[in-house]
């Protein structure tokens, strides 16, 4: 019997990939920090439900707010790694990627005192199952990844849609992909993100049930900024970026609240037993 899986990518509202105004870490010190508010909303939502979750935390966030990471771990949730400064994998050389994941994993492990073995790439940027960066993850101590989707341009249609062991030059790693569906006939993520938010809740709910019936753990995801009532305005985003970030954003909290009444969620490590 598989469980539905709940995940949170712990980043702040300004952690937008590939944007001249937002993605440079040198600009982050002057930004209003809001991640705590969103994380507290999520923890409050989960509290008392019996559900568990995995929080994939940026190394940068962990260095800014080690107490936030401790708070999540002490509340009984799993800590995973979301990279160090939210750079997409394909923007880095392999040595740079190694440095990024080594630094972020080390930061998180120093704070929690526990091994961090699960990884999610910023913006699903592992892209394909044959990416040599998977071997780097194995060499750096990761045994599980949740970064492959089948929706172009952030994934390839041949990528897995259920947990599968990927063989790399350095050994195996378990890939646990997010729940997929369609949006206006195209492959789209239903585990979270703009297409999920703009899809009727009943359709996403039915997809979760179908996935469970098929023995495939449906993986849901969200970000703390989707749970923040005081999200700052973001001048300078392109129309598409604005749509991806803001459209249906405030639906996430109510939807998760109702889903948490309907199912008991597990952390991503539960897929190891599936």
Write out the residues near Zn ion by the rule CB under 5 A: 9, 11, 122
Least Å distance, CB 182 to Zn ion, is 23
Nearest approach, Cβ of 232 to Zn ion (angstroms)? 17
- Identity of the residue, 14 or 134, whose beta carbon is nearer to Zn ion in the bound complex: 14
Residues 224 and 33: beta-carbon distance below 8 Å: no
The rounded distance, in Å, linking the Cα atoms of 224 and 133 is 27
Which helix (H) or strand (E) covers residue 56, if one does?
A: strand 54-57
Element (H, E) at 69: helix 66-74
CB nearer to Zn ion: pick between 122 and 192: 122
Minimum distance from CB of 220 to Zn ion (Å)? 15
Angle at 99 between CA 95 and CA 103, to 5 degrees: 170
Distance of alpha carbon 93 from alpha carbon 82, whole angstroms? 17
Residue 86 Cβ, how far from Zn ion at the closest point, in Å? 6
Which residue, 52 or 88, is less far from Zn ion as judged by CB?
88
Asked whether the CA dihedral 197, 201, 207, 212 is positive or negative, the reply is positive
Residue 216 or 222: the one with the smaller Cβ distance to Zn ion is 222
């Amino acid at each position: 019997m598989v469980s539905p899986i709940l995940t949170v990518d712990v980043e702040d509202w300004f952690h937008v990939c590939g944007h001249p105004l937002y993605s440079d870490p040198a600009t982050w010190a002057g930004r209003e920090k809001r991640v705590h508010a969103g994380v507290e909303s999520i923890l409050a939502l989960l509290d008392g439900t019996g559900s568990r979750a995995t929080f994939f935390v940026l190394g940068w966030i962990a260095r800014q707010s080690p107490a936030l990471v401790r708070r999540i771990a002490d509340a009984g949730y799993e800590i995973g790694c979301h990279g160090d400064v939210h750079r997409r994998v394909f923007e880095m050389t392999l040595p740079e990627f190694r440095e990024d994941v080594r630094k972020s994993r080390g930061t998180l492990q120093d704070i929690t005192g526990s091994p961090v073995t699960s990884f999610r790439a910023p913006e699903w940027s592992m892209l394909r199952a044959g990416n040599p960066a998977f071997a780097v993850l194995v060499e750096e101590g990761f045994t599980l990844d949740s970064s492959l989707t089948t929706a172009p341009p952030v994934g390839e249609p041949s990528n897995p849609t259920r947990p599968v062991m990927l063989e790399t030059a350095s050994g195996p790693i378990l890939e646990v992909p997010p729940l997929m569906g369609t949006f206006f006939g195209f492959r789209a993520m239903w585990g979270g993100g703009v297409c999920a938010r703009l899809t009727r809740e009943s359709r996403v709910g039915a997809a979760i049930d179908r996935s469970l019936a098929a023995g495939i753990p449906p993986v849901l995801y969200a970000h703390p900024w989707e749970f923040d009532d005081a999200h700052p305005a973001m001048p300078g985003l392109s129309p598409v970026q604005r749509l991806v970030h803001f459209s249906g954003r405030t639906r996430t909290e109510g939807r998760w609240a109702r889903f948490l009444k309907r199912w008991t969620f597990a952390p991503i490590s539960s897929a190891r037993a599936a």
